Amino acid sequence: MVSREYQIIWLTHRHMLIDQTADAFYNFAPLIKSQNPSAKKLDMVCVSGEHSSIKATKKTDDIMIIGVQSGFRNIDYLNKVLAKKIIIVVDEAHHTVAMSYLRIIKYIRERRKDVKLLGLTATPIRGTDSESKFLMETFYSNIIYHISMSELITKQILATPVFENIETDINFEPVISIDEAKLIKRYGEIPPTLANKIAQSTKRNEIIVDTYIKNKERYGKTLIFALNGIHCYTLCKDLQKAGIKCDYIYSGNSDNEEKIRRFKENEIDVLVNINILTEGSDVPDIQTIFLTRPTQSEGLLMQMIGRGMRGTLAGGTDEAIIVDFNDKWDTFNKWLNPKWLVDEDIVAKRPDTREYREIIIDRIPWDLVGDIYSGINFEGEKSIIKTLTLPAGWYPLVDNEGEDYKMLVFEKQLPGFKKLKEDLDGKFDSFNINENKLINQYFGGFEMPPNTDELKLFLDNWQESNEFPQLFTFEERNNIDPIILVAKFKEQNVGLADLEDEIMKIFDQYKNIIEDIYGDYNSYYNRLMDCIRYDRGIRPVSSTIEEIPIELIPFRLEATYDLQELYNEVVDEMFDGEYEGIQSIEWTDKPYKSFYGKYFIGGRIRINCLLNSPDVPRETVKFVIYHELLHRDYWYHDREFYRQEHKYPDYTEHNRFLDYGIGEYKFEW
C-alpha cells in the first residue's frame, strides 16, 4: 500500500505491539521497491505515551503506528496530517467495537471518504452474539483472508497441540454463595469473589506446582494463566519456594516489561500472569501453557492457548503442551475445554444482551495474603491426569467452495474412524447418514468427538470420491520436514551432486503428503534449498536499509514582529477587544531554551525572543501570546485550560510547530 502512495494509520492498544509493528516495517522496508522501484525513503512514526507525541506526525509520513488511547485523546491533531489516500489497519481487530477505535475510524472517514479499513485478528469473536455481529458489520462482513488452525498446524506455522487434562478433584461448589451462583448463571464466568476463594486454595495450588515440578524437563518454558492478582502472587511464591525460577506480572505493575524480557531471555522458567500475555506478546519459544482459570469465553481461551502455539516455521516449538486444570463442578460444569478450539468456525453462543452491575472487589494487602491463603481448605486433596490428548494427523479434504481443508484428527478418534470405515464403506445408499447419530455411535466415549460440520464434510468427500480419505500423520510430516532433512543431509555429508537424487527419492516415497502441504515437487525442492541457504529457511530481505541522516535548516534569529501589534490582534480576535489585568508584554532580552512564554502574577508577560524570527509563523507567535493570556484565569494546564486553548484557530498546527517543527532548525547561540 505504501508503494501505491497510501498512508498507513496502524492502530493498536499496547506499547509492545507498537514496537513489534515498527520492527516489522523497518526490517521489510526494502519491499517498498517491489512495486515502486523509484522509492527513495520510508517515513514512519510511533505515537504513544512511551514513544513520540502525535504532534510529531506529518502529512508526509508513510506509516503512523498509533496507540489508540493517544490517538483518541489527541484526535484533532490528525486533521492536518492525513494524506490523500489512507488505509487504517486495526491490530487485534476484535477490539474495534470499543469507542476509542470507533471514534478514530469515524473521524478519518469523515475527512477521507475513500479510506480503506483492514482488521487483523486471530479471534474474530466477541463476548456476545450482538457484539460479534457489530464487529463483522464494522468491516462490512468482508473476510478477505482466513486460514484454519489445522492448516497452520500441518504447515508447522503453529505448533502441534498436546492436551493434558488435570483433574484436581477439588469441589468449590459448597463455598459458592447465592449471589455468586446467580452471577455464574447470568454471565457464564467466575465472579471476582469466588475467584479469590479458588485463588487462595492451598491444595489446588499444590497440585499446580506439583504438576510442573514432576514434568519440569518436558514442560520447559511455561506460561501460567492465573485467576487474579492474588493467584499470581501465591502461585509464584509457591513455585519459588520449590526452587523454580519464577516471576509474576499483572496489570498496573511497573516492572512488567522487565519481567517479560527476562522470560524471553530464559532468565526465568515460569511466568505467571492474568491476561497480560493474551495478545501480541512475542515470546515464540513458550513450550507449555497452564490454564488454571475456568472460562466460557472462546476468545479468551483461544488467546491463552495461542501464546504457546508458535510453530517451528515461526521461530517457535514443534509441540505445544496445553495443561488444563479441572476442578469438580456438579452444577456449574459448562467451562470450555481447550481441545474444542481446534474445531473450526467457533461461534460465541451467548445471549444477545447482558446486564452489568458493579462488583466490589476486596483489596487485600499482600502481607496478609499468606495468612488467608494457608487458612482456607476445600474438599479434595488429590489430582488425577485424566486424559492426554495427542493429535495423530489430518485428513485432506475439499470444502464446499472447492478450497483445500485439513481436518485435524486425534489419536483416540482413530478407532472410531476405523470402525466407521468398516461399517459404511460402499453402503452410503443404505446407511442413515445423520452426523449426530454417527458421532454418538462411533465417538460416544469420554474423548473429544469430531466436530459435526467437519464430520459432514468428511462424509461428503468420502461419498463424492468413493474413497475413504487418506490419513496423513505427523510422523510422516516429520519425515519430509525440510529443516530436519537438511540437518540429516549435512550430518551425512550429502554432496550437491547427490542432493537432487535424495530429494527425488523422498518425493517419490511421500508424494501425496508433500503435494498436500507444499503443492508440487518444485515448491518442495525450493523450500529445501531455502533451508540449506538460510537459517530456518527464512530468506533475508534482498536489499539493505540506509537510514537518512537528519539535515537541519539554519535558523534565522532576526527581529521580525511588533509584539504589541500581535498582542492587540489576539485581544481583538479572541476577547472582543477587551482583556483586563495585563500590565506589560515584552520580548525576553535573549533567546532561551526553556519556555516560549511566561505569565507572571500581576499581569506581566514575557515572550521568548527566539520566536521573533521569519522562520516562525506569525500566527504561531500569536498563539503563544493567547496561551499566556489564559494563565490570568487558569494557573494550571488542566482540562479547562486546554478546552479554552483549543478555541484558537488551528491550535494543533501551532502546537505541532512549537513541539517538533522548530526542532528541524539548526541553532547557533
Confirm if 631 and 601 have CB atoms less than 8 A apart.
Answer: no
Q: Which residues sit opposite 438 in a β-bridge?
A: none
Mean pLDDT of 567-588: 95
Question: Which residue type is seen at 391?
Answer: P
- Output the average pLDDT for the chain: 82
- Give the model confidence (pLDDT) of 433-462 as tens digits: 788 888 888 888 766 788 888 899 999 899
Q: Which residue has the higher pLDDT, 232 or 60?
A: 60
What is the spatial distance between Cα 116 and Cα 85, in angstroms, rounded to a whole number? 9
What is the spatial distance between Cα 417 and Cα 411, in angstroms, rounded to a whole number? 10
Tell me what pLDDT residue 179 has: 61
Mean pLDDT of 193-215: 76
Tell me what pLDDT residue 585 has: 95
Given the DSSP bridges, would you call strands 116-120 and 86-91 parallel, antiparallel or unpaired?
parallel
Tell me what pLDDT residue 400 has: 85
Tell me what pLDDT residue 330 has: 43
At residue 288's C-alpha, the angle toward residues 283 and 289, to 5°, is 85
Tell me what pLDDT residue 384 has: 53
| pTM of this structure | 0.72
Mean pLDDT of 575-579: 94
Q: Which residues sit opposite 584 in a β-bridge?
A: 604
What is the spatial distance between Cα 481 and Cα 485, in angstroms, rounded to a whole number? 6
Q: In the 8-state DSSP scheme, what is residue 121? A: -
Tell me what pLDDT residue 171 has: 57
- Full set of structural domains in the chain with CATH: 7-121 (3.40.50.300), 160-388 (3.40.50.300), 390-474 (no CATH), 481-537 (no CATH), 553-666 (3.30.2010.10)
Give me the residue label for grid cell 547427490. 498
Closest CA to 337 of 204, 166, 209: 166
Does position 367 have pLDDT exceeding 60, yes or no? no
What is the spatial distance between Cα 246 and Cα 259, in angstroms, rounded to a whole number? 10
Confirm if 396 and 472 have CB atoms less than 8 A apart.
Answer: yes
Q: Which residue has the higher pLDDT, 70 or 293?
A: 70
Element containing residue 384 per DSSP (H, E): strand 384-389
- Give the model confidence (pLDDT) of 524-550 as tens digits: 999 999 888 887 777 776 666 777 777
Among 85-99, 298-312, 483-497, 650-664, name the one with the lowest average pLDDT: 298-312
Going by pLDDT thresholds of 50, 70 and 90, the confidence category of residue 13 is confident
Tell me what pLDDT residue 275 has: 64
DSSP string, 588-630: -SS--SS-SEEEETTTEEEE-GGG-STTS-HHHHHHHHHHHHH
Q: What is the largest CA-CA distance in the chain?
A: 102
Tell me what pLDDT residue 150 has: 85
- Give the model confidence (pLDDT) of 321-331 as tens digits: 989 887 644 44
Q: Which residue has the higher pLDDT, 385 or 471?
A: 471
Among 242-251, 607-616, 627-636, name the one with the lowest average pLDDT: 242-251
Question: Which residue type is seen at 531?
Answer: C
C-alpha neighbours within 13 Å on the C-beta side of residue 610:
18
Does position 431 have pLDDT exceeding 70, yes or no? no
Percentage of the chain lying above the pLDDT 70 cut? 81
Confirm if 645 and 611 have CB atoms less than 8 A apart.
Answer: no
Question: What phi and psi values does residue 164 have, to the nearest 5 degrees?
Answer: -115, 130
At residue 469's C-alpha, the angle toward residues 463 and 471, to 5°, is 165
Give me the residue label for grid cell 487418506. 470
Tell me what pLDDT residue 185 has: 56
Confirm if 287 and 221 have CB atoms less than 8 A apart.
Answer: yes
